[in-house]
């Protein structure tokens, strides 16, 4: 009988120890998660500050680059250039970068190209500037990719970068095309836009090309090379500015979400700790009363 009484007395103490251990384990898990969320918040706040500094520089550079792209596009509009080929071959140039954590900047460009390729008869080809657009398009439309330019976005784009890409694109055979990029509107908004591309024959046969005096084939060819580099430079600057503003907004939202999660975890931690303390006090008082 005495042994049976000892067993019954030992059972509550074992249960109490298990509950205490479970409470301590829960507190430790919450504490580890709270610490990790605080570290993430510090990282996102730092990334927001870095993006804000890069955005200010990108916006200044964009103002200087806009005349390049707008002037080249105005030439095609005033000359009323259109594709005159019976079997047109179309080229789409996706202007993105290699870096992420910037919202849906790259997805919007890739989505428009996917819509273009969905109704394609096989004559449309794609050039990807930036690895993000290649990663999105390669799985379904890998056979359409002709050229990919990497190492984009780590440094601000320069006219030399655009000229190198334009030199490689000029070697491709196409009659018309588009440069698809994100056009910067404000700190919190951007819009997917495009610039037209045409072949040398289409420009030479334009109805109003005679508006410009002293244009022979060599002059038009030289201008086509320069205008392609100018429009790529402009599109890359627009994309870089949109990317930095979107990344700044994304990191700001991530910091706010981390702050809300920290508040909830702190409240849960305090409640769990108070429950553990209350349970231990009850056990102490119950043990003292039983003596």
* Separation in Å, CA 134 to CA 24, 86, 115, 124: 49, 30, 15, 16
Indicate whether 271 belongs to any domain.
no
Give the chain's mean pLDDT: 86
pLDDT band (50, 70, 90) for residue 23: low
- Quote the pLDDT of residue 218: 83
Indicate whether 142 belongs to any domain.
yes
Indicate whether 171 belongs to any domain.
yes
Query: Nearest-CA neighbor of 147 among 161, 126, 116?
Result: 126
| Torsion of Cα atoms, 144 then 146 then 151 then 152, to 10° | -70
Q: Supply the CATH number for residue 74's domain.
A: 3.40.1380.10
State how many domains the chain has.
Answer: 1
- Per-residue pLDDT tens digits for 32-62: 999 999 999 999 999 999 999 999 999 999 9
Indicate whether 48 belongs to any domain.
no
Indicate whether 46 belongs to any domain.
no
Indicate whether 179 belongs to any domain.
yes
Residue bearing the bigger pLDDT, 281 or 209: 281
- Per-residue pLDDT tens digits for 153-208: 788 999 999 999 999 998 888 888 999 999 999 998 999 999 999 888 888 888 88
Indicate whether 204 belongs to any domain.
yes
Do the bridges between strand 124-129 and strand 145-149 make them parallel or antiparallel, or are there none, so unpaired?
Answer: parallel
Indicate whether 192 belongs to any domain.
yes
* Residues spanned by the domain of 95: 58-247
| Number of Cβ atoms within 10 Å of the Cβ of 76 | 19
């Amino acid at each position: 009988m005495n042994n049976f009484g000892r067993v019954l007395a030992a059972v509550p103490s074992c249960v109490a120890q298990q509950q205490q251990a479970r409470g301590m384990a829960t507190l430790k898990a919450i504490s580890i998660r709270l610490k990790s969320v605080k570290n993430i918040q510090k990282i996102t706040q730092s990334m927001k500050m870095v993006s804000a500094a890069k955005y200010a520089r990108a916006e200044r550079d964009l103002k200087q680059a806009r005349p390049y792209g707008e002037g080249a596009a105005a030439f095609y509009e005033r000359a009323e250039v259109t594709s005159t080929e019976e079997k047109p071959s179309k080229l789409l140039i996706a202007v993105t970068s290699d870096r992420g954590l910037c919202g849906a900047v790259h997805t919007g460009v890739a989505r428009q190209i996917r819509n273009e390729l969905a109704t394609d008869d096989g004559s449309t080809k794609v050039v990807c500037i930036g690895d993000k657009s290649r990663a999105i398009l390669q799985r379904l439309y890998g056979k359409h990719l002709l050229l990919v330019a990497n190492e984009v976005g780590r440094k601000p784009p320069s006219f030399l970068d655009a000229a190198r890409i334009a030199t490689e694109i000029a070697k491709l055979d196409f009659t018309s095309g588009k440069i698809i990029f994100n056009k910067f509107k404000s700190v919190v908004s951007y819009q997917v836009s495009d610039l037209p591309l045409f072949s040398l024959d289409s420009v030479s046969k334009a109805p109003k090309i005679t508006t410009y005096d002293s244009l022979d084939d060599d002059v038009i060819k030289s201008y086509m090379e320069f205008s392609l580099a100018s429009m790529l430079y402009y599109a890359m600057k627009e994309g870089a500015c949109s990317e930095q503003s979107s990344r700044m907004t994304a990191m700001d939202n991530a910091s706010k979400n981390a702050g809300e999660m920290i508040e909830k975890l702190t409240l849960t931690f305090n409640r769990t700790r108070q429950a553990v303390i209350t349970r231990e006090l009850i056990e102490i008082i119950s043990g003292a009363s039983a003596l």
